[in-house]
Structure 1
């Protein structure tokens, strides 16, 4: 995500292949193999087995016309001058591709005008009349030098500000053309400026969208773009690990009960039963992967385990779990049979965000804790007002990234994380517990069939 993981890790020795592993899905994905891609350090991307065969780079701009591009705004001047796209306006707008892209690698150059200016490239931008929002690779020539950071335009604001990240901050040159490379594979976003890595981030919100060029709205300023091209890398989709009908693909151990009622997986435990922890775990081990679970929590303490070992003795699991409860610790990482609490939610604020940005993140976290989605609306069932929450967990190499309702909770490296192990849902023992799950999914490459 940010300095606390990835730029710090670049300064110390690490294996060249920190995120390649085989993934064996359970349930509907049984027998499917996938692996995460290496973070490329050079202009030529590393081979990624989890994508469709890479196509050749295709030009997005013929140097003569704006064919393939569209302006969704009622304002903004767009023109082609000497093989460049020029954007001029008095208020913010974006020129975007007509085509929607999924997994891809993009390259493009931008030249900022003198004086006050700001720009960027949209990655998987979402478009509606007079509005473009979503992921943006920033072009920021101010003294803070956050060019190449990740900004969520029109939604969560800064996701990866380049605060106190000197190597990345030095990549952008105010007085020259700057070459951006944007790589989107599944929920993994990587940005490079002039071949220097600036952002390495996992985010679950958008798996597709438009490529876009930004005019930030500085009156009379003209922004220039050239050498725009893209390589298709396939696509990803969510596949269920729970079929909504049965416990096929899963095993149970310990206390509590697991039943499927009307498409909902219900986990129940009772303090009167005086039973130990209960686990519902995958029949097959997992390595790298991104998981999405939708749950509704009534009372008690639960968790989602990754790369864990099922044991014969209580608490029947050894590994790292993502906390599921109604406390402020939801989404934090706890190592059962090990160090205990590893990190709690929002641990990254002190090292990854300047003080004047904390309030925005805390506001989004409060919204997520209340069960509100990005549109600030809860998801509830007709017969129950308890909100459904979405937790997304990405496990790549030793890195675990957790989002709650699309707000980042945790981005942490667990040095002693097992190379493989089961995923599991937990019922904490010796307490009254009610938790429902209606989705347990995994992000996989889209089948070509």
Structure 2
């Protein structure tokens, strides 16, 4: 069993729902009689209602999509797949255009591969969480009967359950809102059936700035180098003759979070610290940083004043099957090629409990459990001592509920 993406079976972090906790305020997404609230964005595909079920028939792949978009929610629904060749799933925050649907999908896979409940990125990055290394999850789906799915989307975290068995627990920052969808995979004349579709709308999570684009309010510069705001951008500079690290330290301390940093680096090695503490030493800080640099170390995790390297980017990669790897190294190579002084790069860091996840662009860099990481502390941006440093930060944002300050 893969220790990076399936540790949640024994260590589910606390604000997340268990499969046994039924939604307390869910409402029907299907009235059992009509397709009110649903639409087909394709020019093909048959959709009917019979005996309280939605029936899909087609000769090409298509999706029936909810009219409403949702952000954070708990969805429950049942699917019955026909005998013979078939494949289906529920779209999660699905995106659409004419004759096209793409985005997250909770897979329904009755084949011997048995990846039902895995996370597939339809029309984009393909498999994000297959179940090749999760034998208990592979047993959850039952052929020839109704299978009950539960989907919890909260911020950047997606959790899937099939017949109450946890199958996916994944952090991904690409889509925070979208539509719920039902898939027909396109097998000729095969009948796909859906029923008991319900949703609990839990609002939306949005990015809120920690840097106001005007001055250093909420931050404190310590150590070597200089920080300034130029044309709405944080600029940090330090000469190679400066031995001390320069730090822009958040005045507040933070616990669990998801943060997005948009940066570019002309020279030197920088980082985004979290759950860290300032110290009266040349390094200026003790804590874990996600690397900001123009190298293949970007998105890696390094503990200053402690263990050194905790995880290198894509350190998980070789432990996954070839099915998971498909094209991922090429995608990562494109990310690295874009790390130039002219280009802005986005990194997302998500820390909840002992789980640390980093993305560079839309590619997973690290996903680890670290029992030694502090549970609270400051954010900081780094100017590395002893290097000619020039780093620019366009924005620093936290993912919060829309009603939160």
Specify the TM-score bucket, using the shorter chain as the normaliser.
over 0.9
The answer to whether structure 1 residue 365 and structure 2 residue 332 are counterparts is yes
Which residue pairs with 1:230 in the alignment? 199
- Cα deviation code 1:380-410 (max 9, x no counterpart): 9xxxx71100000001001110000111100
The answer to whether structure 1 residue 419 and structure 2 residue 375 are counterparts is yes
> How has the CA–CA distance of structure 1 residues 356 and 193 changed in structure 2, closer, same or farther, with 3 Å as cutoff?
closer
Distance apart, 1:9 and its partner CA: 5.0
What CA distance in whole angstroms lies between the structure 2 residues aligned with 1:64 and 1:207? 30
The answer to whether structure 1 residue 159 and structure 2 residue 128 are counterparts is yes
Q: CA RMSD in A?
A: 1.7
Match for residue 68 of structure 1 among 37, 43, 61: 37
> How has the CA–CA distance of structure 1 residues 307 and 206 changed in structure 2, closer, same or farther, with 3 Å as cutoff?
same
The answer to whether structure 1 residue 215 and structure 2 residue 184 are counterparts is yes
- 8 A contact 1:371–1:405 mirrored in 2: no
What CA distance in whole angstroms lies between the structure 2 residues aligned with 1:350 and 1:371? 24
Match for residue 242 of structure 2 among 255, 274, 277: 274
- 8 A contact 2:222–2:246 mirrored in 1: yes
What SS does the corresponding residue of 2:260 show, helix, strand or coil?
A: strand
Which residue pairs with 2:395 in the alignment? 439
Runs of 4+ in 1 over 4 A off after TM superposition: none
- 8 A contact 1:19–1:288 mirrored in 2: no
Unpaired runs of 5+ residues, structure 2, are: none
> TM (normalized to structure 2)?
0.96
Which residue pairs with 1:134 in the alignment? 103
What CA distance in whole angstroms lies between the structure 2 residues aligned with 1:68 and 1:356? 36
Distance apart, 1:178 and its partner CA: 0.2
Match for residue 298 of structure 1 among 252, 259, 266: 266
What CA distance in whole angstroms lies between the structure 2 residues aligned with 1:209 and 1:194? 24
Distance apart, 1:39 and its partner CA: 4.6
- 8 A contact 2:63–2:181 mirrored in 1: yes
Distance apart, 1:343 and its partner CA: 0.9
What CA distance in whole angstroms lies between the structure 2 residues aligned with 1:357 and 1:38? 26
Structure with greater strand share of residues = 2
Distance apart, 1:269 and its partner CA: 1.3
Unpaired runs of 5+ residues, structure 1, are: 21-36, 46-54, 373-379
The answer to whether structure 1 residue 325 and structure 2 residue 293 are counterparts is yes
What CA distance in whole angstroms lies between the structure 2 residues aligned with 1:387 and 1:210? 32
What CA distance in whole angstroms lies between the structure 2 residues aligned with 1:408 and 1:130? 29
Matches within 5 A, 1:228-267: 228-267=197-236
- 8 A contact 1:148–1:199 mirrored in 2: yes
What CA distance in whole angstroms lies between the structure 2 residues aligned with 1:342 and 1:64? 55
Which residue pairs with 2:70 in the alignment? 101
Distance apart, 1:209 and its partner CA: 0.5
Which residue pairs with 1:391 in the alignment? 347
What CA distance in whole angstroms lies between the structure 1 residues aligned with 2:272 and 2:396? 10
- 8 A contact 1:322–1:334 mirrored in 2: yes
Which residue pairs with 2:85 in the alignment? 116
What CA distance in whole angstroms lies between the structure 2 residues aligned with 1:131 and 1:298? 39
- Give the count of matched residue pairs: 405
- Cα deviation code 1:273-320 (max 9, x no counterpart): 333111111101110000001001111100011101110112111111
What CA distance in whole angstroms lies between the structure 2 residues aligned with 1:300 and 1:242? 22
